[in-house]
Structure 1
Amino acid sequence: MVSSALLTSLLIASTASARPTKRGTGEVKCPVVLSGFVPVDKTPTDFDSYATSPFNPDYIRGDEKFSTILHFPEVEASRFDNASTKAVEVTINDKSIFQTQNGFRRAGLQIQGDENEGGPGSTGVRTIHFSVKQDAERTLNLTHEYLNVWHEAADYSSNQFNFQSGTIIGKSGADKSSFKVLDRQNNQIWSTPIDATAWQNFAITLDFVKNTLQVYYSKDDEPLKAVTEAVSNDNSGGGQYQIGILKKPTGTSDVVNSGFQETGIDEGQIYGGIFIEDGAGGCISL
Structure 2
Amino acid sequence: MFSVALVFGLTATAASAGPLLTPRIDITCPIVLEGRVASSTALSDFDSYSTSIFNPDYVRGSQPWSQILVFSNTTNSRFENASYKSIEVTISDQSIFQSQNGFRRAGLQINGDTNTGGPGSKGVKTLHWSVKQDSSRPLNLTHEYLNVWHERADYNGNQFNFQTGTVIGQSYAKDTFKILDRQNVLVWSTPIDATAWQNFAVTLDFDKNTLQVYYSEGDAALAAVTNVLTNDNSGEGQYQFGILKKPTGTSDVVNSGYQEKGILEGQIYGGIFLEDSADGCISL
TM-score, normalised to structure 2, is: 0.93
| Partner AA of 1:274 in structure 2 | I
SS at 1:121's partner residue? helix
CA distance in structure 2 between the aligned counterparts of 1:207 and 1:266, rounded to whole angstroms: 37
| Partner AA of 2:179 in structure 1 | V
Deviations 1:28-82 (A, max 9, x none): 1110000001000111100000000010000010000000010000100101001
Structure 1 runs of 4+ aligned residues shifted over 4 Å read none
Deviations 1:247-281 (A, max 9, x none): 00000000000000000000000000100000012
Identity %: 68
**Which aligned pairs between 1:172-183 and structure 2 lie closer than 5 A?**
173-183=171-181
Deviations 1:210-236 (A, max 9, x none): 100100000111110000011000000
CA 1:63/1:24 → structure 2, altered by over 3 Å: closer, same or farther? farther
Does the CA contact (< 8 Å) of 2:162 and 2:180 recur in 1?
A: yes
Does the CA contact (< 8 Å) of 1:23 and 1:81 recur in 2?
A: no
CA distance in structure 2 between the aligned counterparts of 1:59 and 1:24, rounded to whole angstroms: 33
Aligned residue number for residue 208 of structure 1: 206
Deviates most, 21-30 or 104-113: 21-30
Shift in Å, 1:25: 2.1
SS at 1:268's partner residue? strand
CA 1:98/1:273 → structure 2, altered by over 3 Å: closer, same or farther? same
Does the CA contact (< 8 Å) of 1:141 and 1:166 recur in 2?
A: yes
SS at 1:281's partner residue? coil
SS at 2:252's partner residue? coil
SS at 1:263's partner residue? coil
Report whether the alignment pairs 1:222 with 2:220: yes
Aligned residue number for residue 11 of structure 2: none
Shift in Å, 1:24: 4.7
Does the CA contact (< 8 Å) of 1:24 and 1:78 recur in 2?
A: no
| Partner AA of 2:233 in structure 1 | N
Shift in Å, 1:118: 1.0
**Which aligned pairs between 1:92-241 and structure 2 lie closer than 5 A?**
92-171=91-170, 173-241=171-239
CA distance in structure 2 between the aligned counterparts of 1:244 and 1:64, rounded to whole angstroms: 15
| Partner AA of 1:113 in structure 2 | G
CA distance in structure 1 between the aligned counterparts of 2:19 and 2:160, rounded to whole angstroms: 34
SS at 1:235's partner residue? coil
Q: 1:261 aligns with which of 256, 259, 262?
A: 259
Q: 5+ unaligned residues in a row in structure 2: which ranges?
A: 1-13
| Partner AA of 2:240 in structure 1 | Q
CA distance in structure 2 between the aligned counterparts of 1:108 and 1:123, rounded to whole angstroms: 22
Deviations 1:124-171 (A, max 9, x none): 001110000000000000000000000000000000000000000010
- Note the aligned Cα RMSD (angstroms): 1.1
CA distance in structure 2 between the aligned counterparts of 1:188 and 1:263, rounded to whole angstroms: 31
Does the CA contact (< 8 Å) of 2:19 and 2:85 recur in 1?
A: no
CA distance in structure 2 between the aligned counterparts of 1:99 and 1:45, rounded to whole angstroms: 22
Aligned length: 269
SS at 2:120's partner residue? coil
Shift in Å, 1:20: 5.2
SS at 1:203's partner residue? strand
CA distance in structure 2 between the aligned counterparts of 1:197 and 1:127, rounded to whole angstroms: 25
Aligned residue number for residue 4 of structure 1: none
